């Protein structure tokens, strides 16, 4: 199959995105526009200068710039515009559903109210559904470099909004901040009826993935690349059918893999892991959902059938209800049969 045929096929394939930090979809152009709207001076003179700063050696390099960029988000309209811009890109890529992360502590620590953040994102999500037909859910992430106490405070702030939050996750600097640090707050979130996900095995060791599944009882693992270093762990993830939300271009930009041909996606699929493709922080890592599908396909020889498996995994691993999952899976199958 030629590249253009595969591209057309991948674009039309109905897909869900399960690992995308909304603050990581802030494009430099919007960053400048919001800085101007809010009277904030950025330490960059141009969009080009911002893009040139996006060269990272590891996760922390990226996080330092990412938290700085989020500083232009102040009002409810800012969060709405951020979300809408992402959903437009997703729809153009053939994405039909997204479960987006947001980091309330990044904003509440700067004096932006929890309500401002969540209300703005929900505005954007509602408009995206109305205008683009894209459905979405919200996942609140705790910043793991902060304390358990701060995570509990954030969960408390979320309480009035629980009907609008699908789950909680764990992001930011992984090494030194294992899932066990947040076992109690995750238990409290679970008792409130929330789903649980956690970044594990991006830079952290396989032990963090074990903790996430055995101690925290996660519903999905975000990344999970380093699980492959541990055969017993790999077998356990296969046996449990645990969804991994893998982010190939992020792995490349954060030097988790030296180049995309070394990406473990081919191996993950061959092992029977429930891997999915996602963009993580698309404005910073050089590609949205479709770019991640296509560049990975090219680098590790994914076929059309592999892309169908990945799209199916994205709906099976989603937090949609069973009827909605079945509807989306039938759409994938009908598309695959008809193309």
Give Cα separations from 152 to 143, 167, 182, 222, 251 (angstroms): 11, 14, 9, 21, 30
Q: What dihedral angle (degrees, nearest 10) is formed by the CA atoms of 211, 215, 216, 218?
A: 70
CA gap 71, 85 in Å, rounded:
18
| Range in contact with Zn ion (rule: CB under 5 A) among 65-73, 88-96, 274-282, 322-330 | 274-282
With CB under 5 to 8 Å by kind, the binding choice for 306 among Zn ion, ligand HPA, none is none
Q: Is residue 78 close enough to count as binding Zn ion by CB under 5 A? A: no
When the beta carbons of 60 and 127 are compared against ligand HPA, the nearer one is 60
In Å, how far from its chain's centre is CA 333? 24
281 marked ligand binding residue: yes
Distance between CA atoms of residues 158 and 140, nearest Å: 9
Question: Token pair for residue 78?
Answer: 């800012």
Rg of the chain (C-alpha set): 19
Contact 172, 63 (CB under 8 A): yes
Consult the annotation and say whether 97 binds a ligand. no
**Nearest-approach distance from CB 62 to Zn ion, in angstroms:** 10
Tell me whether residue 202 is one of the annotated catalytic residues. Answer: yes
Which residues on adjacent β-strands are paired with residue 112?
Answer: none
List residues binding ligand HPA (CB under 6 A): 21, 24, 59, 66, 171-172, 199, 202, 250, 280-281
Considering CB under 5 A, how many residues would be counted as binding Zn ion? 1
Residues 247 to 266: which contact Zn ion by CB under 5 A?
A: none
Q: Considering 17, 27, 99, 202, which one is annotated as catalytic?
A: 202
Question: Minimum distance from CB of 17 to Zn ion (Å)?
Answer: 12
Least distance from C-beta 221 to ligand HPA, angstroms? 12
Q: Toward Zn ion, which CB reaches closer, 81 or 280?
A: 280
Q: Among 23, 103, 219, 280, which residue sits at the site for Zn ion (rule: CB under 5 A)?
A: 280
Neighbours of 26 (CB within 10 A): 25
Question: Which residues contact residue 199 at a Cβ distance below 8 angstroms, ignoring those fewer than 6 apart?
Answer: 144, 169, 170, 171, 174, 222, 223
Residue 13 or 73 with smaller CB distance to ligand HPA? 73
Which residue is nearest to ligand HPA, using beta carbons?
A: 171
- Has 21 been labeled as part of a binding site? yes
Task: Provide the annotated binding site for Zn(2+).
Answer: 19, 21, 199, 280
Give binding residues for substrate as ranges: 281
Where in the sequence numbering do the catalytic residues fall? 202
């Amino acid at each position: 199959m030629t590249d253009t045929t595969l591209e057309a096929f991948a674009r039309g394939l109905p897909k869900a995105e399960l690992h995308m930090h909304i603050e990581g979809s802030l494009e430099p152009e919007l960053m400048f526009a919001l800085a101007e709207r809010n009277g904030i001076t950025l330490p960059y003179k141009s969009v080009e200068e911002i893009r040139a700063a996006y060269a990272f050696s590891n996760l922390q390099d990226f996080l330092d710039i990412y938290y700085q960029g989020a500083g232009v988000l102040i009002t409810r309209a800012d969060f709405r515009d951020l979300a809408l811009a992402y959903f437009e890109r997703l729809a153009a890529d053939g994405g039909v559903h997204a479960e987006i992360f947001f980091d309330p502590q990044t904003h509440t620590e700067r004096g932006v109210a929890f309500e401002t953040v969540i209300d703005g994102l929900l505005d954007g999500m509602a408009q995206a559904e109305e205008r683009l037909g894209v459905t979405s859910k919200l996942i609140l992430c705790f910043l793991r470099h902060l304390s358990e106490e701060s995570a509990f405070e954030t969960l408390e702030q979320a309480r009035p909004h629980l009907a609008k939050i699908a789950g909680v996750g764990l992001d930011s600097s992984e090494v030194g901040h294992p899932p066990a640090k947040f076992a109690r707050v995750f238990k409290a979130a679970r008792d409130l009826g929330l789903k649980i996900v956690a970044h594990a095995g991006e830079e952290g060791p396989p032990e963090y993935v074990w903790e996430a599944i055995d101690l925290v009882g996660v519903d999905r693992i975000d990344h999970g690349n380093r699980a492959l270093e541990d055969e017993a762990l790999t077998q356990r993830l296969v046996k449990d059918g645990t969804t991994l939300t893998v982010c190939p271009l992020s792995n490349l930009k954060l030097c988790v893999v030296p180049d995309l041909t070394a990406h473990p996606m081919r191996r993950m699929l061959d092992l029977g892991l429930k891997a999915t493709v996602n963009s993580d922080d698309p404005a910073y890592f050089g590609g949205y959902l479709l770019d991640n599908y296509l560049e990975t396909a090219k680098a590790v020889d994914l076929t059309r059938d592999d892309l169908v498996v990945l799209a199916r995994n994205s709906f099976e691993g989603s937090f949609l209800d069973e009827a909605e999952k079945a509807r989306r899976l039938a759409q994938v199958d009908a598309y695959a049969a008809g193309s």
